[in-house]
Structure 1
Amino acid sequence: MTVFLIIIVIALLGITLWQMSKILKLSKSHSSEDPSIATENDNKTQGYMMLGFLIVFNLFMLYNFWEYSRFYLPEAASAHGVQFDNLMFLSLGIIIFVQFITQFLLHYFTFIYRGQKGRRAYFYADNDKLEFVWTILPVLVLSGLIIYGLFTWSDIMNVEEDEDTIVIELYAYQFGWKARYAGEDNTLGKANVRFIKGINSVGVDESDTYAMDDKIVGSLHLPVNKKVLFKMRSQDVLHSAYFPFFRAQMNVVPGMITQFGFTPTITSEEMRNTDYMIDKVKTINEIRKENSEELVANGDMALDPYEFEYYLLCNKICGVSHYNMQMKIVVESEEDYKQWLAEQESFGETMAKQKDK
C-alpha cells in the first residue's frame, strides 16, 4: 500500500511540474521571439551544415574506397568469374553515380534554397516531364541490368555435360567435405545416405558396378582450363559450397542433388606468385610473427608461416564448428592432375581391403 501511495505522489508531482511549465510559458511577453520558429540565421547555419556534410560524406566515401580496396579479392580464377566481376562493378558504378547525383542535389538545394526573409517558395501541383524522367530512367537502367544479369546467369549456370567435362561429387557433412571422382568409366556410381556404414562414409552403393572405380578423397584437385561440374550432396543439414576465388557458390541441400560448374583458369602456383598474393601473404606473416612472440613468451607454440592455398568453404552457419568446415583446392596442370588421380585408391579397393581384415 505504501508503494502505491508513493507512485501516486510522484505522478501528481510530475503533473504539477508540467502545469507550472505551461503557466510560465503563457506568462512570457508576447514581444519575445518564439524559439520554436527558425530564424534567418538558423536557416543559414543549417544550410552551410548541409553543404559541409555533403563534402565530408563524399570525402569519407572516397577514403573508404581507397583504404579498403586492398580487401577486394584478386582477379577471378575461373572463366565465368570475369563476367561476374564485370556485372558487380557495373552495378556498383551505377549505384555510386546515382548516389552522388541525388545526394548532391539534396544537400545543394537545401543550401541554396534555405529560408530567407522575403523569399517565398514556388509551388506547383505536378510536373509531367519530371515525373516521366524519374520514372522512365530507372526503369530503363534496371531493365538493362536485369537483362544483362539474366544472360550472365544463363552462361554461368547452364553447364553442358560432355565427354570433356570432369564430374566431381562434393559431399558435405558436419563439419567437413569429401570429394568423389569418377574412375575410368567417367561415371559416378549411385549413392545415398542410407548406405553409410563403417568406412563407406559417403553412402556409395556397393551394388553399383559404376561405383567400384570411384575415388573418394579429402582434398580437391582440379586441372587448369578444364570444365568441371560439381554434383553436391549433404549428409545432415543445409550447407553452402563457397569458392570465393572462383566466384562460385551453391547451396548443398539434404535430400537432393544441386550442381554448379566452372572452368579454373589460374593454377594455385600462379595465384601464389601474383603481386596481390605476395603482398597479402607478407602482411599475414608479419602479423603471425608478432602474435608468435607473445605465444612463445607464454610458453606456447609459435604459429606456422602462412602459405596461400585455394579453399572450399561452407557459407552457411551449419553448427558449432562451421568455421572449420573447409577443404583444400589444388589447381594444377592436367598432367599433374592425372598423376595425382591415378595415385588415389578406388572405392572398390578400399572395400576389398576392409573385407580382407
Structure 2
Amino acid sequence: MTVFLTIVVIALFGITLWQMSKILKLSQNSANNSQIANDKDNNLQGKLMLAFVIFLYLLTIYCFVQYHTFFLPESASEHGIDYDQLMLISMVLIFVVQFITQGLLHFFAYKYRGKKENKALFFADNDKLEFIWTIIPVIVLAGLIIYGLFTWTDIMDIDEEEGDPLIIELYAYQFDWRARYSGEDNVLGKANVRFIEGINTLGLDVSDNYGKDDKITNELHLPVNRKVIFKMRSQDILHSAYMPFFRAQMNVVPGMITEFAYTPILTSEEMRNSEFMVEKVATINKIRKEKSKKLVAAGEEALEEYTFDYYLLCNKICGVSHYNMQMKIVVESEEDYEAWLKGQTTFGEQLSAQASN
C-alpha cells in the first residue's frame, strides 16, 4: 500500500509540473493562437458529441436486452407488487428524462458549435422558461413522493390484530440465522442475550411460560397467502435480513427488536417452475457443467446441479463469513406448513430432555 501511494504521489507531482509548464508556455507566447479552436475543431467536437450520445443510447438498449435475466422475477409477496410498480414508475421517469435531456444536450452541442461568423445571443432572464423548468419537476416529484409515501405506509403498517398473522422471530448472529416460531398462543416468549447458556442458544427467559411452546429451527417455513410478522434480534453486531424475492429487507440491530411483515403469494414450487426461473436455472447449470469439466480434469470434485430455493441472506458485511450467512426459506401450503411445524420440538421439550439427561 505504501508503494502504491508513493507512485500515486509521484504521478500527481509529474502531472502538476506538466500543467505548470503548459501555463508558462502560454504566458510567454500569447501571440501564438495554435491552441485556439477553429471551425474544423468545432465541427469535429460537435460530431463527436452526436456520436457519443448515439453510442450511449445503443449501449443502454444492449444492456437491457443482454442482461435482463439478471433482474429479479415477479414478486413472491403481496406488497412486492406495489414495490415493483413504484420502482417501474421511477425508472421510466428517469429514463424518459435522461433520454430527452441527454439527446438535447448533445444535439445542441452539435447544432450550435462554434463558427467564426456566429455571435452568441445573450439575455438576462426568461420568466416563461424558468416557470416551465421549475413547475414541471415540482409537480412530477411531488406526485412521485406522495405515491411513494402512501406505498411505504401501506408496507410498513404492521397490525398484529388484523387477520390471523403468523409471528416469527428471526435471530441473527455471526454467521447464521435461527427462526423462532410462537406456539399455539401465537405469542413469542421473552428473550435476552444475557440468558444464553447451554441449549438456550437464543437466550429465552425460562421463567416466561409464553416461551415454553416456542419452536426454534434452522430453516424458515412459511404458509402461502398468510401474513407473517417478523420480529428480529441480533446477538452481536448489526446484520440485515434480506429476502430479495419477497422485496423485504430490515436491519437487525443489537439491543432492540425490529419488525417487518409480508404475505407470501408464491410457493417455492411455483417460483421454481416459473418460466423465468426455469430458464435462469438452466443457464446456471450450463455454466456449472462447463466449470465441472475443468474441475474433474484437474482431479477435483464436480459441482452439484443447482436447484432454486428462496433464501434469507445477510445484507451487511458482518465479518469474514458474511457471504455464508444464509437460511433456506420454504413457502408451502398451509397443510404442509402445519405438518412440518408439528414435527418440530418446543423449547419446553428441549428443557425437559436436558433435565432428564
**Normalization by structure 2: what TM-score?**
0.91
Alignment of 1:1-357 (within 5 A): 26=29, 34-162=33-161, 164-357=164-357
State the 1:302 CA deviation. Answer: 1.6
CA shift digits 1:203-251 (9 cap, x unpaired): 0111111111100000000000000000000000000000000000000
Distance (Å, rounded) in 1 between the aligned partners of 2:302 and 2:226: 40
Structure 2 counterpart of 1:172, one-letter code: A
Q: Per-residue deviation at 1:276?
A: 0.8
Deviation at 1:151, TM superposition (A): 0.3
Q: Could you tell me the percent identity over the aligned residues? A: 62
* 2:39 aligned partner, one-letter code: E
Q: Distance in 1 between matches of 2:58 and 2:298?
A: 44
Aligned to 1:179, the other structure's residue is in SS state strand
| Distance in 1 of aligned mates of 2:325 and 2:134 | 47
* Paired residue total: 337
Cα distance between partner residues in 1 of 2:79 and 2:27: 73
**What displacement does 1:25 show?**
6.4
Please give the secondary structure, in 2, of the residue aligned with 1:80: helix
**Distance in 2 between residues matched to 1:233 and 1:100, nearest whole Å:** 45
Partners of 1:127 and 1:339 in 2: CA distance: 72
Q: Say if 1:50 and 1:194 are closer, same or farther in 2 by CA, change over 3 A.
A: same
Larger radius of gyration: 1
Describe the superposition over 1:111-134 as per-residue Cα deviations: whole angstroms up to 9, x where unpaired: 111112211111101111111111
Give the equivalent residue in structure 1 for 2:4.
Answer: none
Instruction: Give ranges in structure 2 of 5+ residues lacking alignment.
Output: 1-16
Deviates more, 1:341-350 or 1:162-171: 162-171
Partner amino acid, structure 2, of 1:188: L
CA distance in 2, matches of 1:23, 1:70: 54
How far is the alpha carbon of 1:22 from its aligned partner? Answer: 5.2
Partner residue of 1:9?
none
1:8 aligned partner: none
> What secondary structure, in the 3-state scheme, does the structure 2 residue paired with 1:222 have?
strand
Partner of 1:7: none
Residue 23 of structure 1, CA deviation:
11
CA–CA distance in 2 between the matches of 1:36 and 1:121?
A: 21
Q: Shift in Å at residue 297 of structure 1?
A: 2.1
The structural deviation recorded for 1:24 is 12
Q: TM-score, normalised by structure 1?
A: 0.91
SS of the counterpart of 2:170?
Answer: strand
Shift in CA distance, 179/37, structure 1 to aligned 2, threshold 3 Å: same
Per the alignment, in what secondary structure is the counterpart of residue 172 of structure 1? strand
CA distance in structure 2 between the aligned counterparts of 1:303 and 1:108, rounded to whole angstroms: 52
Gaps of 5+ in 1: 1-13
